[in-house]
Amino acid sequence: MESTRSSSPNPAQGTRSSTWCRDLLITLVCTVAIALLLVQYDDFDAAAYPSEELAKKPVFEVPRVNSHVLHGSEKVGEGQLLGPEDIVYDPKLGVIYTSCSDGWIKRVRLSDSEVEDWVNTGGRPLGLALGNSGEVYVADAYKGVLKITEDGAIEVLTNEAEGIKFGLTDAVTVTKNGILYFTDATWKYELHNCVLDIFEGRPHGRLMSYDPSTKQTKVLARDLYFANGIEISPDQDFVIFCETPMMRCMRYYIQGEKEGSIDVFIDRLVGLPDNIRYDGEGHGEGQYWIAINTEHTYSWDLARKYPYIRKVLAFLEKYQKRPSVEKNAGAIVVDLDGKLVERYYEPELTLVTTGIKIGEHLYLGNLMTSFITRLNLTQYPATPSSLTN
């Protein structure tokens, strides 16, 4: 009662409120204890990430930055492009292809943003690559690597290697000789629960190649941490692929002296990388665009360090109660030597999966939107950052 509460304090009420407090405390402690016990007996087994990787701090200083990438941007194909994960440009037709969550690969004419339902894979197309004769290669999360001819016929090229089926075919790129290089992010999980792979902290990813002339699939590297986006270098001497939870991109040499070896192209990324795209046509002064799902946040740092936290997160994920901690998604630009030159992001953006510059524009694909974000970079460029000297 209001009147009782506002009246002068009496000893009985003090006792009542402290009892109430104690009850609340007991309830809280019991709830937490039960939750911890449940998690304890959950059989999800999270592993420690390699300590030398944990010791690497992300680099937040970038020479040029645009921290409001949505400002001045347009929505391309709004309502028609569901979760456009990857984008590939066909300069001959003046269209982009994009991979959507309803199975459609849609084609968008750049001159007037007209959207066309091109081909439905019946799965979940992710990474795309344009072949040398107008065909499109698709990394379909559920179906493997597909070839789609210009007239829309679908062929499954490969979906397993060394007796292990792909769990989450993620990205694909093609050389001028027609050899495909692609990633399987994890053989253990599927797209719908792939975040568990990152929470588990063990490397289930593979880098592979497929030669259409022999129909052979080769495993080039195994034990990768969530092998994600992939891109061929302009000189066709290596492929670069992203290892998302390691916040780095690796380089696998496909010819020359270093053929077959792997080194780090860029690490200590500002966040979790997804697709990588080269913006140059042929040789020359192009740059790589690496999509950043989310910035490296304090909570992600803790989760990465402590397997127990990831176990709790995996438990919460099962009941769809996991807090969302993603922020500052966008894309970074890296030069041919692996040096970070620009960053484009927006505080409230999450799950940007691809970024590519076509002409004057930056195009961003995103799992959370029903459109592609387009920004005129001449009008809204990244500008020198005050963080650097």
Ligand X SMILES: *[C@@H]1O[C@H](CO)[C@@H](O)[C@H](O)[C@H]1NC(C)=O
Interface positions with ligand X (CB under 6 A): 360, 376, 378-379
Give the largest CA-CA distance in the chain: 90
DSSP string, 103-158: SEEEEEETTT--EEEEEE-SS-EEEEEE-TTS-EEEEETTTEEEEE-TT--EEEEE
Distance CA 389, CA 384 (A): 9
- Residue 109: how many other CB atoms lie within 10 Å: 13
Nearest distance from C-beta of residue 73 to ligand X, angstroms: 12
Nearer to ligand X, 96 or 119 (CB): 96
Residue 59 phi/psi, 5° resolution?
-95, 115
CB–CB of 338/265 below 8 Å? yes
Nearer to ligand X, 6 or 379 (CB): 379
Distance CA 287, CA 239 (A): 14
Nearest distance from C-beta of residue 362 to ligand X, angstroms: 11
Nearer to ligand X, 324 or 378 (CB): 378
Nearer to ligand X, 155 or 360 (CB): 360
Nearest distance from C-beta of residue 95 to ligand X, angstroms: 16
Nearer to ligand X, 113 or 193 (CB): 113
Nearer to ligand X, 260 or 359 (CB): 359
Nearest distance from C-beta of residue 110 to ligand X, angstroms: 9
Q: Which residues pair with 267 in a beta bridge?
A: none
Nearer to ligand X, 65 or 375 (CB): 375
Nearer to ligand X, 51 or 379 (CB): 379
Could you tell me which of 320, 268, 257, 310 has the C-alpha nearest to residue 58?
A: 268
Nearest distance from C-beta of residue 360 to ligand X, angstroms: 5
Nearest distance from C-beta of residue 277 to ligand X, angstroms: 19
Nearer to ligand X, 74 or 235 (CB): 74
CB–CB of 99/125 below 8 Å? yes
Task: Provide the 3-class DSSP secondary structure of residue 36.
Answer: helix
- Which H helix or E strand runs over 363? strand 361-366
CA Rg, the chain, in Å?
24
CB–CB of 264/251 below 8 Å? yes
Alpha-helix residue ranges (DSSP H) falling in the chain: 2-6, 11-41, 51-54, 195-200, 298-305, 307-318
Distance CA 129, CA 137 (A): 5
- Give the pair of three-digit tokens for residue 37: 């016990």
Question: Residue 170 region, left (φ>0) first, then alpha (ψ -120 to 50), else beta?
Answer: alpha
Nearest distance from C-beta of residue 380 to ligand X, angstroms: 8
Amino acid at 153: A
Helix axes 298-305, 307-318, angle to 10 degrees: 110
Nearer to ligand X, 171 or 362 (CB): 362
Nearest distance from C-beta of residue 374 to ligand X, angstroms: 10
Nearest distance from C-beta of residue 378 to ligand X, angstroms: 4
Nearest distance from C-beta of residue 41 to ligand X, angstroms: 58
Q: Give the residue carrying structure tokens 């559920």.
A: 142
